[in-house]
């Protein structure tokens, strides 16, 4: 009986600890009308505007220096795979010349140079 009580106390404690780690700063609601994903506790929001895709990056509400980042956007649409480079803008990264984006496409953003890390996020375009 004591073992069961010890195990259930451990499980409850672990639940409180993990919910405290998630914290209130992991808001995954879109701020720019796009699709939101998370990579390494960094929020990425992908916004499609015509033939342009913008990627907004936020680390607990702070926007990193976009000029330090490099990245690529891979679009998987059916059996077609295309890649586009992200170019830094003021508050986001942008990729232009997007022509094969259809509903059901999968977009994979790979960003390098963020605090020595590589961020990868997968988005489903609906």
pLDDT at residue 11, rounded to an integer? 58
Domains and CATH numbers, the chain: 27-124 (2.60.40)
Q: For residue range 89-100, what is the model confidence (pLDDT) as tens digits? A: 989 999 999 988
Instruction: Say which residues have a Cβ less than 8 Å from residue 17's Cβ, sequence separation at least 6.
Output: none
Decide if pLDDT at 57 tops 80: yes
pLDDT at residue 18, rounded to an integer? 42
Q: State the average pLDDT for the chain.
A: 85
Best-predicted range by mean pLDDT (19-23, 61-65, 72-76, 101-105): 72-76
Strand order in the sheet with 80-88: 35-39, 42-49, 52-58, 93-96, 80-88, 70-77, 106-114, 117-124
Provide the token pair at 25.
Answer: 């700063």
Q: Tell me, what DSSP letter sits at residue 41?
A: T
What's the rounded mean pLDDT across residues 6-31?
Answer: 56
What's the rounded mean pLDDT across residues 88-111?
Answer: 93
């Amino acid at each position: 009986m004591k073992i069961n009580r010890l195990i259930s106390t451990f499980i409850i404690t672990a639940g409180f600890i993990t919910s405290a780690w998630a914290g209130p700063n992991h808001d995954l609601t879109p701020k720019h009308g796009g699709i939101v994903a998370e990579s390494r506790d960094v929020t990425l929001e992908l916004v499609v505007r015509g033939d342009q895709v913008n990627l907004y990056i936020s680390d607990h509400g702070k926007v990193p220096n976009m000029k330090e980042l490099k990245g690529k956007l891979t679009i998987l649409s059916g059996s077609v795979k295309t890649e586009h480079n992200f170019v830094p803008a003021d508050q986001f990264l942008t990729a232009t010349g997007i022509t094969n984006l259809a509903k059901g496409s999968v977009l994979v953003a790979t960003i390098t140079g963020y605090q020595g890390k590589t961020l990868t996020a997968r988005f489903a375009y609906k």
